[in-house]
Amino acid sequence: MADFVITIARGFGSGGRTIGRMLAQKLDIDYYDSDLIRLASEESGINLELFGKADERVKTNLFKRYNRSYGDKLIPPDRDEFVSSDNLFNYQAKIIRELAEKQNCIIIGRCSDYILKDNPRALRLFIYADRKTCIKNVTELYGVHPKEANERIVSLDRARAAYYKYYTGKDWDDVNNYDLCLNTSRLSFEQAVDAILAHMRALGYSV
């Protein structure tokens, strides 16, 4: 059984993924990001490409209500809804819950904080930064013009917020969803990792 699982929601350009990888290396634990959709594809037998297209995106009416099981109830292959976005989400949720039960790990995005909200071993993080910092990071990482970097940030953060709202009914950037929020506008990635480790020690985690 896992001692802890860390979920990281992140604004695009904030460095959340990089911080997650660095933290995983420090703690010597596994890091799951796009691996989640591969694992969900293997579990379900549904084409990986379908999971990729639905990854942290919604195309349906955001106000339509569904009875989501968060991995408890999966639609069987003989039903038309087997490859629906909701069923793809539920397979991912199942994988997230199973990983959180069996190993210490870091899970990036995909509503993992909400899926594990009742898991007492989960530490839910939100990494963000001001727009200027995000533009700088995206510009340097992808080699794009600042204007394009800004457009990517707006588009991806909007998509993540819509996905989170659709599957949880909550606001993605609401601090009440998380145990710790870090603004990397004023922290290096190394300092952010150290802050997370200090927070974990204060909470009694053995790290």
* pLDDT of 172 over the 50 cut: yes
Domains, the chain = 5-196 (3.40.50.300)
Residues 157, 44, 102, 193, Cα dihedral to 10°: -20
Structure tokens belonging to residue 187: 């922290």
Q: What values do phi and psi take at 136, rounded to 5? A: -60, -45
Neighbours of 158 (CB within 10 A): 12
Q: Is residue 4 classed as helix, strand or coil in its secondary structure?
A: coil
Phi, psi of 119 (to 5 degrees): -90, 115
Give 20-70 pLDDT, tens digit per residue.
999 999 999 999 998 887 887 787 777 667 666 666 666 655 445 444 656
Burial annotation 73-100 (CB, 10 A radius, 16+ → b, else e): ebbeeeeeebbbbbbbbbbbbbbbbebb
> Taking the model in full, what pTM does it have?
0.87
pLDDT of residue 51: 62
Q: Mind listing the pLDDT tens digit for each residue in 110-154?
A: 999 999 999 999 999 999 999 999 999 999 999 999 999 999 999
Spatial separation of the C-alpha atoms in residues 22 and 127, rounded to whole Å: 14
